[in-house]
Structure 1
Amino acid sequence: MTRRSHLRCFLPGTDNAAVHNARLTKDLFRENNITLLEHPACSPDLNPIENIWGWMAREVYKNGHQFQTADALREAIFTTWSNVPTSLLETLASSMPKRIFDVINKNGGATHY
């Protein structure tokens, strides 16, 4: 794949960009011996980043904080991202076996996560 076609797949409006990106991601995982689990599409129960986004939103807007400029909001987001507690990441990672078990028990349906 040429550099140009590699970049094109990340540009909005390109044909099949999302499918192509998914294929590239799966190839990257395979090349690095990372096992992927099959799971329902758009499954927030198996996507701990959703929990991190929620935590970040609560932190950024803590105590009803409002921002006067987009730059101030951007700075707060970057600062919050830089300070995600290791304990939160560890908790989310260690919850994955239970999340997977719960999704299997619900036949792919929603869980309490």
Structure 2
Amino acid sequence: MEASSFRTVDGVELAIWTLPGDAVPEFLLVHGLASNARLWDGVARGLHAEGHGVVSLDLRGHGESAKPSDGFDFEKMTADLAGLIATRMTAPVLRLDSPLAATSSSSWQRATRIW
């Protein structure tokens, strides 16, 4: 996977990895809390073998991405993903009328509108 970075709207540098592909859809692989993008390496290789483009990232405060002094929260991570999708993805990840980012971790659940 090709390593690069993405600067968020509030200036945080995120580590990203890409594998280009021609098949649609292109996939964005996002790890959970206390993890990192390398979790998806095997899945990324499998999708790429089928011709799909793949982007994975270390969320802010995780892996090789910057650890902001003011911490991180779900709203900021959602905004980071929306920015990455808008600027780095070549095809729609998923086309929905009202895209949501949803999560379920430990004892809390949350959904946030991306745009």
With the length of structure 2 as denominator, give the TM-score of the two structures: 0.23
With the length of structure 1 as denominator, give the TM-score of the two structures: 0.23
Give 1 or 2: higher helix fraction: 1
Q: Kindly name which structure, 1 or 2, has the bigger radius of gyration based on alpha carbons.
A: 1
